[in-house]
Amino acid sequence: MAKKQLTGYKRPRHIQFVDELPKSNVGKILRKELRKMEGLE
């Protein structure tokens, strides 16, 4: 489905399900922590 509606660079390469997203005290999602979980940093 995504292949038909999204261009190549917008398509997700993989999907990982987690129980909880890392958030700051304010409630924003910590993208750096997500990258660390993924092993990209």
Give me the domain span that covers residue 17.
13-41
Q: What one-character-per-residue DSSP string does the chain give?
A: -HHHHS-GGGS-S-----S---B-TTS-B-HHHHHHHHT--
Q: How many domains does the chain have?
A: 1
Report pLDDT for 25: 96
The predicted model scores a pTM of 0.57
Task: Answer yes or no: are the C-beta atoms of 23 and 29 closer than 8 Å.
Answer: yes
Would you say residue 24 lies in a domain?
yes
Show the tokens assigned to 1.
């489905």
Report pLDDT for 41: 53
Report pLDDT for 26: 96
Would you say residue 28 lies in a domain?
yes
Would you say residue 3 lies in a domain?
no
Would you say residue 1 lies in a domain?
no
How far apart CA 13 and CA 6 sit, in angstroms, is: 12
Would you say residue 7 lies in a domain?
no
1-41 pLDDT per residue, tens = 778 888 889 888 888 888 999 999 999 999 999 888 877 65
